[in-house]
Amino acid sequence: MFILGTNAHEQAVGSQMCDAFEETPWAHENNYVGTIIELVKKYEIDIVFPQTSWEMFELSKAGDEIRKHCRLLASDHELVNVCENKYLMYEHLKGKMDIPEYYLVHSIDELEEAAAKLGYPENDVVFKPPVGKGNRGVRVMTEKADRFDLLFNGRPFAKYISIDELRKTVEGKELPELMVMEYLDGREYKVNPVLVKGKMLICSVKDRLNFASGLAMGFEVISHDESVEYGKEVMKHIPMD
């Protein structure tokens, strides 16, 4: 077996685990797909295996062209697009299974109205961009957080924000499209299924641990049947392959 690794950084750690390594553009750059196809030809690659959601999005969009040269481990772009956009995913699942209440907003007034419908300020709510990763743009809107405690005892990541702080932050600026949702506090589990046309062949569940700047720095593989069954239900309506 020959493994070619690619990354936008020439010093990527994973380069040491491959038989060969090539630096490529970022997935969102215009010449990314063309570069991947040229590498497939150069190294006579049989299978392209995207590793990030950004790569999956761009490569699935060019799936027909890539499959002229090799196999591509990616679902149809229409389904990938649904999974990349949280609002589209929730709209796709609405009425089919149990999901949190949510609203799409485009202004601070719409955000405040949506938050009120969700019970704010008695209930905390969360807002996030429909498209994004790594907790960028995600905040829990609350009036209950102790700002002194957050400043001196919390990690330097602004997870919480009040409505007044939000107003001051966006004052005079155009608010990006956001989802406003129920805030469901508790443990976070990561469900990793292997699928063929929506049918789950195998699945692992990880408990997300050691959060830093909103990201999990560690995981523990656990047995959690409820998460597996919920994952099966999601994939029944979004038949990834």
The per-residue b/e assignment along 159-172, b for 16 or more CB within 10 angstroms, e otherwise, is bbebbeebeeeeee
Q: Which neighbouring-strand residues pair with 212?
A: 215
Report pTM: 0.85
Instruction: Say if 4-74 and 95-182 have the same CATH topology.
Output: no
pLDDT for 113: 97
- Give the pLDDT score at 179: 97
If one counts every other C-beta atom within 10 angstroms of the C-beta of residue 3, the result is 13
pLDDT at 160: 85
- Would you state the pLDDT for residue 212? 61
In the chain, where the domains are located: 4-74, 95-182, 189-237
CATH 3.40.50.20 given to domain 4-74: yes
CA atoms within 13 A on the CB side of 90: 15
pLDDT for position 215: 65
Using CA atoms, how far residue 46 sits from 1, 23, 57, 68, 128, in Å, is 10, 19, 20, 11, 38
Distance CA 49, CA 104 (A): 33
pLDDT of residue 110: 96
What type of residue sits at position 57? F
> Does domain 95-182 fall into CATH 3.30.1490.20?
yes
Per-residue pLDDT of the chain (241 residues; tens, 9 = 90+): 999 999 999 999 999 999 999 999 999 999 999 999 999 999 999 999 999 999 999 999 999 999 999 999 999 999 999 999 999 999 999 999 999 999 999 999 999 999 999 999 999 999 999 998 777 889 999 988 777 777 677 665 668 888 998 999 888 888 999 999 999 888 889 999 998 888 899 999 999 887 665 666 788 999 999 999 999 999 999 998 8
Rounded distance, CA 99 to CA 96, Å? 9
